[in-house]
A and B are shown apart, each in its own frame.
Chain A
Amino acid sequence: MTDKPRGIDPRMAGFNEKVANDQRIEPKDWMPDAFRKTVLRQMSQHAHSEVIGMQPEGTWITRAPSLHRKVVLLAKVQDEGGHGLYLYSAAETLGTSREEMENALHEGRAKYASIFNYPALSWADAVAIGWLVDGAAIVNQVSLQRTSYGPYSRAMIRICKEESFHQRQGYEATMVLARGSKEQRAMAQDALNRWWWPSLMMFGPHDSESAHSGQSMEWKLKRESNDVLRQRFIDQTVPQAEFIGLTIPDPDLKWNEECGHYDFGEIDWDEFKQVISGNGPCNKQRLAHHIRAAEDGRWVRDAMHAHAQKQNKREVA
């Protein structure tokens, strides 16, 4: 699909009108190439984040400290996989297969949320991820329920409905640690210390620095800016930490009466850039894990296909 070079394309006018009227863009609709590319990039990145995000918490499934925690964590990690699947499914409406998206991930052409490149070192990490990382993700996803691409919006609605339990279980389990023994409390505080800043980074660069933000906002793909969403997350999370007696690791954090928000310290953007460009502690490990699973599964997928072909031949014969 190409844009016509001269004048205002009437199809473009139709597209703009739909966006202006808060109508959803649907798969069969005409859309500018740049829009198609952006929404595909955003959805595939989101899908990869869900799937790679299974790994850090996933390492704790076999070590969960009770049978209840074990089934909750297993179901939660399974949900992440399901959410990845919903998002791949939404992205596939644009004619790009999941396989192509996975190849792009394996070849380093597609990104995923940089937070999953940090290690989950303790049980407290496994549950702090639910509290903080899912907490941050939900703030973003609630906003994205109104995104202008129809399949993306519907996937977000489905995901938000399922995800409300993720953050709650994470917080509840963190609370048990914070109110537990000295070691457990230390474990919870240590997890908060290491996951707090990466959680804030999840919202991306400042609005003034964000490469894609402006256009995405115009297209209503993105409904609220990085900084607005980040502030919302901080405002809702600080009281949650205080309530269970944990300290947010930011000496500059304080309530600003005047504007009704928390002021907070500057994010280490060098670290952010390092991790995003592949130099975080677990980038290579996460990608290698995903590639290994795909490689290990190849003979299975080949066998399925071979079996189906044999079946077809038998039916014809």
Chain B
Amino acid sequence: MNKQALPLFEVFIRSKRGLDHRHVGSLHAEDPEQALDYARDVYLRRSEGVSIWVVRSANITASQESDVGSFYDPMDDKPYRHATHYKLPKEVDNM
């Protein structure tokens, strides 16, 4: 329809202080400043957040499903990196 569609931005919201920003969805805007304003109007209509990040969707590099084998599986056999791997006596187990 129009000459050029508006770019897509991904929106991340920190719902309250102390928490990480979390992906909530996307929107269209001409530039980051406008995307920030629209994120406020679109995703914070009920005081859902205290901080917003927007990033051009085109700037996100994502892992591929085909990488699953090499990316994630090798981490599955390292149980020694988890606290539950170490059995301690009851007396000192709240470590």
Interface, chain A (partner B; CB < 8 A): 28-30, 75, 78-79, 82, 85-86, 89-90, 92, 97-99, 102-103, 155, 158, 162, 294, 298, 301-302, 304-305, 307-308, 311
How many A-B Cβ pairs are below 8 Å?
54
- Asked if residues A85 and B24 are in contact (CB atoms below 8 Å), the reply is no
Q: Which of A75, A85, A162, A298 contacts B27 (CB 8 A)?
A: A85
Which residues from chain A contact B62 at a C-beta distance below 8 Å? 28
Which residues from chain A contact B1 at a C-beta distance below 8 Å? 99, 102-103, 294, 298
Known: A305-B4, A305-B30. A155 touches B25 (CB 8 A): yes
- Asked if residues A158 and B24 are in contact (CB atoms below 8 Å), the reply is yes
The 9 A-B pairs of least Cβ separation, nearest first, read: A89-B26, A304-B30, A89-B25, A99-B5, A301-B2, A308-B30, A29-B65, A305-B4, A298-B2
CA distance A255 to B27 in the complex (A): 47
Of chain B, the residue at the smallest CB distance from A100 is B5
Per DSSP, are chain B's interface residues mostly helix, strand or loop, or mixed? loop
17 sampled A-B residue pairs with Cβ under 8 A: A28-B62, A85-B25, A85-B42, A98-B5, A99-B5, A102-B1, A155-B25, A298-B1, A298-B2, A302-B2, A304-B6, A304-B30, A304-B34, A305-B3, A305-B30, A308-B30, A308-B31
B residues contacting the other copy or chain, number (CB 8 A): 22
Q: Which of A75, A82, A302 contacts B42 (CB 8 A)?
A: A82
Give B2-35 as 1s and 0s: 1 = Cβ < 8 Å from A's Cβ atoms.
1111101000000000000000111110110010
Of chain A, the residue at the smallest CB distance from B25 is A89
Q: Which of B1, B24, B63 has the largest number of chain A CB atoms within 10 A?
A: B1
CA distance A316 to B8 in the complex (A): 23
Per DSSP, are chain A's interface residues mostly helix, strand or loop, or mixed? helix
CA distance A78 to B45 in the complex (A): 10
Which residues from chain A contact B46 at a C-beta distance below 8 Å? 162
Given contacts A30-B65, A79-B45, A294-B1, 15 further A-B contacts (CB under 8 A): A75-B45, A78-B45, A86-B25, A89-B25, A97-B8, A155-B25, A298-B1, A301-B6, A302-B3, A305-B3, A305-B4, A305-B6, A305-B30, A307-B30, A311-B31
Q: Does B64 touch A at the CB level, under 8 Å?
A: yes
CA distance A82 to B45 in the complex (A): 9
Of chain A, the residue at the smallest CB distance from B23 is A154
Which residues from chain A contact B25 at a C-beta distance below 8 Å? 85-86, 89-90, 155, 158
CA distance A162 to B24 in the complex (A): 14
Which residues from chain B contact A311 at a C-beta distance below 8 Å? 31
Of chain B, the residue at the smallest CB distance from A308 is B30
CA distance A102 to B28 in the complex (A): 14
